[in-house]
Amino acid sequence: MPDSILKYFQSQIGKSIEKSSASLGNWLNGTFVEVKEGEMTVSFVVRKDMTNPLGILHGGAASAIIDDVMGMTVYALGKEFVYVTVSLTVDFLDNAKEGETIYAKTRVVRNGKTLINVECQLTNEQNKLLAKGTSNFVATSIKTTL
């Protein structure tokens, strides 16, 4: 099964995330750009409903993007059990305005038996770093399904 989950995500490159089992992921509506074992890039267009009163990407929306893509990266590893977020740290470094395309680029730092550490960089089209996040995921007793 591990390979089949990764291959599924790779088959989604160029497609938008509209039919995920995660409703939040559907609302974020990213598009898969690149998928490798332990790495993923997903693009997002900043919509009005993702912005704060200043008209820039809301920190909560940025955090949700970071957490969602890191979670998909972990799921794509094809582990026997489901892993869930137990910590999430996000540093906000710059902003993105409505209509801009941003990219969430993830990388697994540590792929352990019970704990997986992942980092994510949120960048704009000029590759300017907008936010960076790190997260720890812990194994549950729930079996992974595709």
What is the domain-level CATH number for residue 76?
Answer: 3.10.129.10
Distance CA 34, CA 41 (A): 5
Domain that holds residue 114: 2-143
- Pairing state of beta strands 129-143 and 81-92? antiparallel
pLDDT tens digits, 38-69: 999 999 999 999 999 999 999 999 999 999 99
> Is the separation of the CB atoms in 104 and 30 below 8 Å?
yes
Supply the pLDDT for residue 112: 94
For the chain, helix (H) and strand (E) counts, in that order, are: 3, 6
What's the number of domains the chain is made of? 1
Question: Does the structure show a pLDDT above 70 at 118?
Answer: yes
96 confidence band (pLDDT: 50, 70, 90): very high
Supply the pLDDT for residue 104: 99
23 confidence band (pLDDT: 50, 70, 90): confident
